[in-house]
Amino acid sequence: MGTLFEQHRGLLDDAQRALVARGFWTPFPEIPSGKVYGETARDDGQVAFDSALGAAFEMPGHPQERRVGAEASPWGFDLDITYPAADAPALIAASQAAAPAWTEAGPEAWVGVCLEILTRLNAMSFFMGHAVMHTTGQAFPMAFQAGGPHAQDRGLEAVAMAWAEMSRVPEMVLWEKPQGKAAPLVIEKHWQVVPRGVALVIGCNTFPTWNSYPGLFASLATGNTVIVKPHPSAILPLALTVRVAREVLAEAGYPADAVLLAADAPGGEITQDLVPDPAVRMIDYTGSNAFGDWVRSHAARDTQVYTEEAGVNSIVIAGTDDFAGMCANIAFSLSLYSGQMCTAPQDIFVPRGGIDTDLGHKSFDEVAQGIVAAVDALLADPARASGVCGTLANPATLDRVAQARGLGRVIRDSQPLGEGRSASPLILAVEAGETDAHEAECFGPISFVVAVDDAEAGVVRAADLAQRKGAITAALYDTDEDRIPRVAAVFARAGVNLSVNLTGNIYVNQSAAFSDFHVTGANPAGNASLTDAAFVANRFRVAMWRRPHAA
């Protein structure tokens, strides 16, 4: 049997080609089908999840000073799983102890191990789907896709980009400099990729794997040891990931402690002990701007911090030649996972004088009611509504919905969906010049239809909001072909990716690995982009040694 790198070289080559082509490509099918994952995969995943409930999560050899665990499914039951836990000094010491052997392994070993981990994670996607469903509140189809294959795609993308950047530098060359009539200078030069040190990945509650895999695999594939700090309410998906990583490392002859789990309990988080430690050289963080500011201000001076934070995503409606399709598309984007996505739209800017459509001129209220009617139609069937909206990951989101009712004119009220902790979209109408309520992030199923003077005013307000508060996505509906590229340029300067005239089965919420760069890093919604060269290149350095070459 060859090395893991050799076994997976075809997968790596395909991934690198996909990085350049930017078309659709995935080795990890998103359909939860027995024909793809095996006829017993669905049942096996359910059995594995059920067996994990109420039990001690075993992770052989992992540092352990106590056990923690207080996860509760937003669908209505406690997981009662406990995980090995240790204080920050013990985790950092173990990570540093594993570093020399892992560093010595070299880039091919680093990448090969990462590819094997991703392959094994893909095989257990049904188990992971249940783990994500019952820690985040996503419905199973979304949990399977986002927590499994889509997250694995993003991890693979990071590994492929890491290999591309590391392999730009040859291991050895003979350097010759002419010296006129004298013999040329001939120097033997060697280069080595040098990892930066301990990497810390701080996971979030809503997308524990999708948001964590890029940083985890970018750091591991560049030779760094990694400490994974999950959200206390969503430990299981990342605990499964860490366990698989440790198994692969050990089987390949490397220290399992190259990947560690920093599990903790609500109210007893150890993030504030890990972040300032000078041994931590890289931090990947997803979450609120407030804690993002804390991370940046408390990390060691030379620690590289990569963040994805909160923002206010906008839609500008200037006109449409498919009014029904536009309303249906927006309705799905507002409803999907109850707005608990970093890409979900919040503000919909509509000219107060209305817009022209294929169904004639529509007033502001008619546009708003068209969106409301589309949401109602989408969620009319209770089973479908539950499948689209899922549940609310955090009880605070339900409180936020209740408080938001006073922020504007309610044109669609929120209602529970009947299963788990849930709330359908709350839609409010406001006047842009009379309130700034829509300018703050209202995380969850809360959106505003904002009356503006005209389409140009909507673009200006949306772009300004992105520059001041941050935004990851923006959308435009317009029939003016001359204006569309101008608007795209405005949003590009604001550091926002723009979607134009989406009316089919592609939504502003969605971000495809190997094609879409997720977040630009150019506004307050985040300082990094998944997954460009800058996301991986600063996780390692290149050191050289040289000597005269013997003739």
CB atoms within 10 A of CB 426: 26
**How does DSSP assign 225-286, residue by residue?**
EEEEE--TT--HHHHHHHHHHHHHHHHTTS-GGGEEE----TT---HHHHTT-TTEEEEEEE
Structure-block tokens of residue 252:
């390949």
Which residue from 261, 286, 213 is spatially nearest to 295, judged by alpha carbons?
A: 286
pLDDT at 368: 98
**Partner residues linked to 307 by β-bridges:** 285
Alpha-carbon 417 to chain mean position: 26
List C-alpha distances in Å: 460 to 54, 80, 129, 486.
Answer: 53, 50, 40, 12
What share of residues in the chain are helix, strand, coil (percent, to 5)? Answer: 45, 20, 35
Radius of gyration of the chain (CA): 25
Helices (H) and strands (E) in the chain, counts: 20, 21
HEC-encoded secondary structure of 86-99: CCHHHHHHHHHHHH
pLDDT per residue of the chain (551 residues) written in tens, 0 to 9? 479 999 999 999 999 999 999 999 999 999 999 999 999 999 999 999 999 999 999 999 999 999 999 999 999 999 999 999 999 999 999 999 999 999 999 999 999 999 999 999 999 999 999 999 999 999 999 999 999 999 999 999 999 999 999 999 999 999 999 999 999 999 999 999 999 999 999 999 999 999 999 999 999 999 999 999 999 999 999 999 999 999 999 999 999 999 999 999 998 889 999 999 999 999 999 999 999 999 999 999 999 999 999 999 999 999 999 999 999 999 999 999 999 999 999 999 999 999 999 999 999 999 999 999 999 999 999 999 999 999 999 999 999 999 999 999 999 999 999 889 999 999 999 999 999 999 999 999 999 999 999 999 999 999 999 999 999 999 999 999 999 999 999 999 999 999 999 999 999 999 999 999 999 999 999 999 999 999 999 999 999 999 999 86
Strands 540-548, 182-195: pairing kind: antiparallel
pTM above 0.85, yes or no: yes
Structure-block tokens of residue 294:
């804390």
